[in-house]
Structure 1
Amino acid sequence: MIDALSVRSRPPRRALLPAPDQLIPTSTCHGLDQLVGNTPVLWIPDLHATGRRGFWAKLEGHNPGGIKDRPGLHMIQRARERGDLLPGMPVVESTSGTLGLGLALAGLVHGHPVTLVTDPGMEPSMRHLLAAYGARLDIVDRPHPDGGWQQARRDRVTRLLAEHPGSYCPDQYHNPDNADAYHPLALELAAQLSRIDVLVCSVGTGGHSAGITRMLREFFPHLRLVGVDATGSTIFGQPARTRLMRGLGSSIHPRNVDYPAFDDVHWVAPAEAVWACRQLAATRYVTGGWSVGAVAVVASWLARTLPDDTRIAAVFPDGPYRYADTIYNDDYCRQHDLLGRPPARRPDEIGHPSEREVTRWTRCTNIVQPVATGQVPA
């Protein structure tokens, strides 16, 4: 007779399990450069919570250092292939932060010392992180009288290149390799979303808006490109002013900005970007820096106003980690009067960038290239 107690105490028969390497798709990386790319897209509902409309956000903050890991690696690789950058020679570049992370990564991958010229506006946390990654920081102490901190950094780069023969500057503002670096991102978006009607991009050097759009229009010829700039930026014909926001906008006119590619441009103010960043954090557990907030303001409005079958893709260039002491710090935001000032339900409209200086969210469909290509400041 079978003892019922002994039957109950027997361990259950183990099911046959697949081999460990068949459990999930493998993501093992043998090189640091393999960490870059294949970032996810996430559905973002309208930030004003007015219905079921929304847009798709490409979360480039899932790269180790953000979106500019892509051009950091690509520009260095191409310079090496052309012989412009010899093995072991220094890389010198101007940056407000994010490209610095990409170049620090490229320096580790390819064995180049990296010097990054920045200004006092770079967050202490970013300076500490770049130093930990092995980059040398050179901080300029006064802005250029016309081109501000940006031109002061570029002038310092020119001096460092003269002092160190054989060193190489990727020149993110004018180097076409910058835009080309974003072709893989465009292919990722096309595969992830199958159809894209509107692309929303922040504009700084002009690299990712140009590179992504050129490739996507091979698949979607009628793609509409909406640029997002910062108030106080001179890229699209507004006067240059001291800017609180970093990562978008410019005090010079980069040659990588593909002016004919844009259908319209929006300028967004710091308080409006802060509101959007905090809304994203509270409702979607995803956010980033000034560019992310500004892009979200515009993409959310487009989702509310365009036909409901319009598929909108917005590029979120980075994550929130470097902004803990600015955008997400109440004391900092109160000091700069950035709290409690959400964007309006719709942007102001101007017919031409020279019509008036804008200080809040404003839209213009008349795209003006302020300076001819051959006359861009050095």
Structure 2
Amino acid sequence: MDLSLLEPFSLLSPGALAPAPRIVRHPAHLVGGTPVLWVDEPFAPPGRGFHAKLEGANPGGIKDRPGLHMVREARRRGELAPGAPIVESSSGTLGLGLALAGLTYGHPVTVVSDSGMEPAVARLLTALGAHVEQVAAPHPEGGWQEARRERVAELLARTPDGYCPDQYHNPDNAAAYRPLAAELIAQLGRVDVLVSAVGTGGHSAGTARVLREYVPGLGLIGVDSVGSAIFGQPAGPRLMRGLGSSIHPSNVDYPAFDEVHWVAPAEAVWACRQLARRHYASGGWSVGAVALVAGWAARTFPPGTRIAAIFPDGPHRYLETVYNDAWCEEHGILGRERPEEPDEIADPGERLVTGWTRCRRVRDPLGRDRGRDLAKADVR
């Protein structure tokens, strides 16, 4: 390690003043201004790495941004009355953002989740003042997400003044990420390739849209989970939470993507643990999957390509899953050989993918992009 890198953190000379950290009057003011960390080995050779935007530095993670923004905009338009309850489906991270929004604007919050929510997250949400409801069984076609959405509809029917932000289809979700994109430009000067996990579609769409105002030729790589239906694979059981979906959110901006990669749990776990051991910065399933793909991009794209990867959260909610050897062994995701390169398919419907796979044809499986074929030239 180059010890000169530590010089900014050495003892100050006598009489010198340290830069003053921010002092804020409300926790909502802590959202944004997240740092960027350079990541290379073991994902890419030295000098060929990527810049990781550490959104886990927000109080609750990346979805503090849309949680606050969607509630603020709903209040501005008169869709959410003062003091009215907020009810939303979430696997956890948006729930934390909405708990912050409820505290900020004075709204009770109910988070509808399922048995896959980590007990620690459910307890934390309760401690933050939110009420947590869990559905008992997945929907026969739409899985857990559709079952949660149906419960939200039931609760709203009994709550005439209740409001659901509907993160899957609310354009305010994507609009909330304009500041994140502006921060990246201020921090990096330019971004040539953005690597982003895709779940509701909000942060990939909103960040890329604004970055392209500065860099029109920006490349966008989407990262999905095996078993997810977002990009045209059949919906199936998913161990990974926070990315992927068993429904088709309208916030996913299909024409914006140059390619998509599907990642499996064992591959994401390897990446998460390498990040923790080598870079002291890690997170959950989305972080591991994004790091794996961003490292591939750093090795594959021409030298000098400036690659940014969005890390949505930190590791703490995953200590009993991703970072628990017993849990990982129980699910058969430790000790597997990690592929150096992704497999590749020519079309999302070509075959069922079960491991890291790349596809350069991206289209809306429901035809909402009017069948536009976005096959791209080989970047290599």
- Of 212, 226, 233, which residue of structure 1 is paired with 2:228? 233
User: Contact between 1:201 and 1:226, CA under 8 Å: does it hold in 2?
Assistant: yes
> C-alpha separation between the residues in 2 aligned to 1:256 and 1:342?
35
Residue 140 of structure 2 aligns with an amino acid whose one-letter code is: P
Structure 1 residue runs of 4+, over 3 Å off?
15-18, 48-52, 372-375
The answer for the alignment partner of 1:3 in structure 2 is none
2:98 is the alignment partner of 1:82: no
Q: Helix, strand or coil: the match of 2:51?
A: strand
Unmatched 5+ stretches in structure 2: 1-12, 371-380
Q: How does 1:18-37 map to 2 (within 5 A)?
A: 23-37=18-32
Q: How does 1:138-287 map to 2 (within 5 A)?
A: 138-287=133-282
The answer for the alignment partner of 1:367 in structure 2 is 362
2:119 is the alignment partner of 1:124: yes
Residue 338 of structure 2 aligns with an amino acid whose one-letter code is: P
2:319 is the alignment partner of 1:328: no
Q: Helix, strand or coil: the match of 2:221?
A: strand
> C-alpha separation between the residues in 2 aligned to 1:225 and 1:98?
23
Which 10-residue stretch deviates more, 67-76 or 49-58?
Answer: 49-58
Shift of 1:98: 0.3
Shift of 1:25: 3.2
Shift of 1:46: 3.7
Q: Helix, strand or coil: the match of 1:92?
A: strand
Q: Structure 1 residues 48 and 57, CA, compared in 2 at 3 Å: closer, same or farther?
A: closer
Shift of 1:341: 1.9
Shift of 1:23: 4.3
Residue 201 of structure 1 aligns with an amino acid whose one-letter code is: S
Q: For residues 96-140 of structure 1, what are the alpha-carbon distances to aligned partners after superposition, in whole Å with 9 as ceiling and x for unaligned?
A: 000000000000000000000000000001011000001001110
Shift of 1:372: 3.7
User: Contact between 1:46 and 1:55, CA under 8 Å: does it hold in 2?
Assistant: no
> C-alpha separation between the residues in 2 aligned to 1:298 and 1:123?
26
The answer for the alignment partner of 1:62 in structure 2 is 57
User: Contact between 1:275 and 1:341, CA under 8 Å: does it hold in 2?
Assistant: no
Unmatched 5+ stretches in structure 1: 1-14
Q: Structure 1 residues 312 and 325, CA, compared in 2 at 3 Å: closer, same or farther?
A: same
2:331 is the alignment partner of 1:354: no
User: Contact between 2:44 and 2:298, CA under 8 Å: does it hold in 1?
Assistant: no
- Of 313, 324, 327, which residue of structure 1 is paired with 2:308? 313
User: Contact between 1:275 and 1:342, CA under 8 Å: does it hold in 2?
Assistant: no
Query: Which of these two proteins has the greater Rg computed from alpha carbons?
Result: 1
Q: Helix, strand or coil: the match of 2:362?
A: coil
> C-alpha separation between the residues in 2 aligned to 1:259 and 1:47?
31
Q: For residues 213-270 of structure 1, what are the alpha-carbon distances to aligned partners after superposition, in whole Å with 9 as ceiling and x for unaligned?
A: 0100000000000000000000000000010000000000000000000000000000
The answer for the alignment partner of 1:5 in structure 2 is none
2:309 is the alignment partner of 1:291: no
The answer for the alignment partner of 1:9 in structure 2 is none
Residue 97 of structure 1 aligns with an amino acid whose one-letter code is: G
TM-score after normalising by structure 1:
0.92
User: Contact between 2:43 and 2:49, CA under 8 Å: does it hold in 1?
Assistant: no
Q: For residues 279-316 of structure 1, what are the alpha-carbon distances to aligned partners after superposition, in whole Å with 9 as ceiling and x for unaligned?
A: 00110011000000000000001111111111000000
Residue 64 of structure 1 aligns with an amino acid whose one-letter code is: P
> C-alpha separation between the residues in 2 aligned to 1:107 and 1:253?
27
Shift of 1:49: 5.6
Task: Name the count of aligned residue pairs.
Answer: 358
% identical aligned pairs:
64
Q: For residues 21-60 of structure 1, what are the alpha-carbon distances to aligned partners after superposition, in whole Å with 9 as ceiling and x for unaligned?
A: x642340001221010000000001424644321000000
- Of 129, 154, 157, which residue of structure 2 is paired with 1:134? 129
User: Contact between 1:201 and 1:314, CA under 8 Å: does it hold in 2?
Assistant: yes
Q: Structure 1 residues 346 and 77, CA, compared in 2 at 3 Å: closer, same or farther?
A: same
Shift of 1:342: 4.5
> C-alpha separation between the residues in 1 aligned to 2:259 and 2:334?
28
- Of 89, 110, 123, which residue of structure 2 is paired with 1:115? 110
User: Contact between 2:75 and 2:81, CA under 8 Å: does it hold in 1?
Assistant: yes
Q: Helix, strand or coil: the match of 1:299?
A: helix
> C-alpha separation between the residues in 2 aligned to 1:114 and 1:223?
37
Shift of 1:160: 0.5
Q: Helix, strand or coil: the match of 2:260?
A: strand
